Amino acid sequence: MLPSKATSKNPVADASVIYDGECLKFPKGTDIQSIQQARRQAKWLSGWLSSAVGEHVGVRPVLALPGWNDTPSKNPIEVVSLFFETYGTSRMDEIGPYTSAKFRGNKPMSVWVVETWNALKKVKYERLKFKVLDSKITDKNALVAVQAKIKAVAGEADQKEIYSLIFENNRWLIDDLVVTDEEIDLEKMKI
Protein backbone atom coordinates (compact mmCIF):
# COMPACT_ATOMS: atom_id res chain seq x y z
CA MET A 1 0.00 0.00 0.00
CA LEU A 2 1.34 3.39 -0.98
CA PRO A 3 -0.17 6.43 0.72
CA SER A 4 -0.70 9.43 -1.51
CA LYS A 5 -1.20 13.13 -0.84
CA ALA A 6 -1.42 16.18 -3.02
CA THR A 7 -0.05 19.70 -2.77
CA SER A 8 -1.63 22.01 -5.31
CA LYS A 9 0.42 24.42 -7.35
CA ASN A 10 -0.34 27.30 -9.62
CA PRO A 11 0.48 26.03 -13.14
CA VAL A 12 1.92 29.40 -14.20
CA ALA A 13 3.78 30.15 -10.96
CA ASP A 14 6.98 28.80 -9.48
CA ALA A 15 6.71 25.01 -9.09
CA SER A 16 9.94 24.67 -7.10
CA VAL A 17 10.29 22.68 -3.92
CA ILE A 18 13.37 22.61 -1.71
CA TYR A 19 14.26 19.64 0.48
CA ASP A 20 16.61 20.78 3.24
CA GLY A 21 17.15 17.38 4.81
CA GLU A 22 14.26 17.78 7.25
CA CYS A 23 11.30 19.29 5.42
CA LEU A 24 9.89 20.21 2.01
CA LYS A 25 9.66 23.93 1.35
CA PHE A 26 6.95 24.84 -1.14
CA PRO A 27 6.22 28.39 -2.36
CA LYS A 28 3.17 28.53 -0.05
CA GLY A 29 4.55 26.76 3.02
CA THR A 30 6.47 23.80 4.39
CA ASP A 31 5.69 20.12 4.83
CA ILE A 32 7.45 18.21 7.60
CA GLN A 33 4.80 15.53 8.09
CA SER A 34 5.33 13.79 4.73
CA ILE A 35 9.05 13.36 5.40
CA GLN A 36 8.41 12.10 8.93
CA GLN A 37 5.71 9.71 7.71
CA ALA A 38 7.96 8.31 4.98
CA ARG A 39 10.75 7.76 7.52
CA ARG A 40 8.39 6.05 9.99
CA GLN A 41 7.00 3.77 7.32
CA ALA A 42 10.49 2.90 6.03
CA LYS A 43 11.60 2.07 9.58
CA TRP A 44 8.51 -0.11 10.13
CA LEU A 45 8.97 -1.89 6.78
CA SER A 46 12.67 -2.45 7.52
CA GLY A 47 11.78 -4.04 10.86
CA TRP A 48 9.06 -6.19 9.36
CA LEU A 49 11.24 -7.39 6.47
CA SER A 50 14.21 -7.96 8.77
CA SER A 51 12.17 -10.14 11.11
CA ALA A 52 10.73 -12.04 8.15
CA VAL A 53 14.11 -12.92 6.62
CA GLY A 54 16.22 -13.10 9.78
CA GLU A 55 18.75 -10.40 8.84
CA HIS A 56 18.80 -6.62 8.53
CA VAL A 57 17.01 -5.24 5.48
CA GLY A 58 17.52 -1.52 4.86
CA VAL A 59 14.61 0.47 3.47
CA ARG A 60 14.98 3.96 2.05
CA PRO A 61 12.01 6.33 2.28
CA VAL A 62 10.98 7.89 -1.03
CA LEU A 63 8.65 10.77 -1.81
CA ALA A 64 7.53 11.40 -5.38
CA LEU A 65 6.63 14.97 -6.26
CA PRO A 66 5.24 14.84 -9.81
CA GLY A 67 5.18 18.25 -11.47
CA TRP A 68 7.34 19.91 -8.84
CA ASN A 69 10.95 20.95 -9.51
CA ASP A 70 13.51 19.90 -6.91
CA THR A 71 15.80 22.88 -6.41
CA PRO A 72 19.25 22.62 -4.88
CA SER A 73 19.15 23.45 -1.21
CA LYS A 74 22.83 23.18 -0.38
CA ASN A 75 25.91 24.82 -1.83
CA PRO A 76 29.22 22.88 -2.02
CA ILE A 77 30.41 24.05 1.42
CA GLU A 78 27.06 23.07 2.98
CA VAL A 79 27.31 19.62 1.35
CA VAL A 80 30.82 19.13 2.76
CA SER A 81 29.60 20.33 6.17
CA LEU A 82 26.75 17.81 6.04
CA PHE A 83 29.29 15.11 5.16
CA PHE A 84 31.32 16.04 8.24
CA GLU A 85 28.24 15.97 10.49
CA THR A 86 26.83 12.66 9.24
CA TYR A 87 29.66 10.48 7.88
CA GLY A 88 30.18 7.51 10.16
CA THR A 89 27.05 8.23 12.19
CA SER A 90 23.55 6.79 12.24
CA ARG A 91 22.59 9.80 10.08
CA MET A 92 24.75 8.68 7.14
CA ASP A 93 21.69 8.25 4.94
CA GLU A 94 21.39 12.05 4.91
CA ILE A 95 24.64 12.45 2.95
CA GLY A 96 23.88 9.63 0.49
CA PRO A 97 21.83 11.85 -1.86
CA TYR A 98 24.79 14.24 -2.03
CA THR A 99 27.28 11.63 -3.28
CA SER A 100 27.90 10.52 -6.86
CA ALA A 101 27.87 6.91 -7.98
CA LYS A 102 31.62 7.27 -8.60
CA PHE A 103 32.18 8.35 -4.97
CA ARG A 104 30.17 5.36 -3.75
CA GLY A 105 32.18 2.94 -5.91
CA ASN A 106 29.12 2.53 -8.17
CA LYS A 107 27.20 0.94 -5.30
CA PRO A 108 23.53 1.76 -4.81
CA MET A 109 23.18 4.52 -2.24
CA SER A 110 21.50 2.35 0.39
CA VAL A 111 24.16 -0.37 0.06
CA TRP A 112 26.99 2.19 0.32
CA VAL A 113 25.43 3.78 3.41
CA VAL A 114 24.99 0.46 5.27
CA GLU A 115 28.36 -1.03 4.29
CA THR A 116 30.31 2.16 5.02
CA TRP A 117 28.55 2.78 8.31
CA ASN A 118 29.18 -0.80 9.47
CA ALA A 119 32.87 -0.60 8.50
CA LEU A 120 33.30 2.73 10.31
CA LYS A 121 31.50 1.44 13.44
CA LYS A 122 33.97 -1.45 13.63
CA VAL A 123 36.92 0.96 13.87
CA LYS A 124 34.99 3.41 16.12
CA TYR A 125 35.41 6.18 13.55
CA GLU A 126 34.54 9.74 14.60
CA ARG A 127 34.97 13.14 12.96
CA LEU A 128 36.00 15.54 15.73
CA LYS A 129 36.87 18.90 14.16
CA PHE A 130 36.30 20.53 10.83
CA LYS A 131 37.30 23.84 9.28
CA VAL A 132 36.94 24.95 5.66
CA LEU A 133 40.30 26.27 4.47
CA ASP A 134 39.44 27.28 0.92
CA SER A 135 36.98 26.67 -1.90
CA LYS A 136 36.90 27.07 -5.66
CA ILE A 137 33.46 26.92 -7.29
CA THR A 138 32.29 27.14 -10.90
CA ASP A 139 28.86 26.47 -12.40
CA LYS A 140 29.39 22.70 -12.63
CA ASN A 141 32.39 21.83 -10.44
CA ALA A 142 33.75 22.71 -7.02
CA LEU A 143 36.75 22.01 -4.83
CA VAL A 144 36.52 22.43 -1.07
CA ALA A 145 39.63 22.13 1.11
CA VAL A 146 39.12 21.24 4.76
CA GLN A 147 41.25 20.78 7.86
CA ALA A 148 39.80 17.86 9.84
CA LYS A 149 40.52 15.88 12.95
CA ILE A 150 39.34 12.27 13.05
CA LYS A 151 39.42 9.54 15.66
CA ALA A 152 39.39 5.76 15.36
CA VAL A 153 40.66 2.73 17.28
CA ALA A 154 44.21 3.56 16.15
CA GLY A 155 43.97 7.07 17.67
CA GLU A 156 43.43 10.63 16.52
CA ALA A 157 44.75 12.21 13.35
CA ASP A 158 44.80 15.68 11.82
CA GLN A 159 44.39 15.68 8.07
CA LYS A 160 43.61 17.90 5.14
CA GLU A 161 40.77 16.81 2.89
CA ILE A 162 40.02 17.97 -0.64
CA TYR A 163 36.44 17.39 -1.76
CA SER A 164 35.68 17.43 -5.47
CA LEU A 165 32.02 18.11 -6.20
CA ILE A 166 29.95 18.10 -9.38
CA PHE A 167 26.64 19.80 -10.08
CA GLU A 168 24.29 17.14 -11.39
CA ASN A 169 20.50 16.76 -11.44
CA ASN A 170 20.10 20.15 -9.81
CA ARG A 171 22.28 19.46 -6.76
CA TRP A 172 25.91 19.36 -5.67
CA LEU A 173 27.37 15.85 -5.27
CA ILE A 174 30.63 14.78 -3.66
CA ASP A 175 32.47 13.02 -6.48
CA ASP A 176 35.89 12.47 -4.93
CA LEU A 177 37.74 12.91 -1.65
CA VAL A 178 41.51 13.13 -1.31
CA VAL A 179 43.18 13.05 2.11
CA THR A 180 46.62 14.63 2.35
CA ASP A 181 49.19 16.05 4.75
CA GLU A 182 50.56 18.47 2.13
CA GLU A 183 49.77 22.16 1.83
CA ILE A 184 46.73 22.81 -0.33
CA ASP A 185 46.64 25.50 -3.01
CA LEU A 186 43.32 25.23 -4.86
CA GLU A 187 44.39 27.93 -7.33
CA LYS A 188 46.95 25.52 -8.75
CA MET A 189 44.45 22.66 -8.96
CA LYS A 190 42.41 21.99 -12.08
CA ILE A 191 38.72 22.02 -11.35
Verify that 49 and 141 share a domain, yes or no.
no
Residue 143 forms part of a structural domain: yes
Verify that 79 and 145 share a domain, yes or no.
yes
Verify that 42 and 82 share a domain, yes or no.
no
The single-letter code of the amino acid at 179 is V
pLDDT recorded at residue 156: 95
Verify that 91 and 158 share a domain, yes or no.
yes
Verify that 30 and 111 share a domain, yes or no.
no
Residue 49 forms part of a structural domain: yes
Domain that holds residue 59: 16-70
What span, in angstroms and rounded, lies between the C-alpha atoms of 97 and 26? 20
Verify that 77 and 126 share a domain, yes or no.
yes
Verify that 56 and 100 share a domain, yes or no.
no
What span, in angstroms and rounded, lies between the C-alpha atoms of 93 and 58? 11
From first to last of its 191 residues, the chain has per-residue pLDDT tens of 556 666 665 554 556 777 656 677 777 788 888 888 888 998 999 899 999 999 888 888 888 887 776 655 688 999 999 999 999 998 898 899 899 999 999 999 889 999 999 999 999 999 999 999 999 999 899 999 999 999 999 999 999 999 999 998 778 999 999 998 888 777 777 66
Residue 11 forms part of a structural domain: no
Verify that 39 and 50 share a domain, yes or no.
yes
Verify that 62 and 91 share a domain, yes or no.
no
Residue 1 forms part of a structural domain: no
Last residue of a domain, one of 8, 41, 70: 70
pLDDT recorded at residue 7: 63
Q: For the domain that residue 108 is a member of, what is the CATH number?
A: 3.10.450.50
- Where residue 25 falls (left for φ over 0; alpha for ψ -120 to 50; beta otherwise) is beta
**Among candidate residues 175, 179, 134, 185, the one with its CA nearest the CA of residue 161:** 179
End-to-end CA distance of the chain: 46
Last residue of a domain, one of 24, 54, 70: 70
pLDDT recorded at residue 73: 62
Q: Is 67 exposed, middle or buried (0-12, 13-18, 19+ CB in 10 A)?
A: exposed
Residue 191 forms part of a structural domain: no
Q: Where are the alpha helices (DSSP H) in 6-75?
A: 33-53
pLDDT recorded at residue 12: 47
pLDDT recorded at residue 5: 64
Using DSSP's 3-state secondary structure scheme, residue 37 falls into helix
Q: How many domains does the chain have?
A: 2
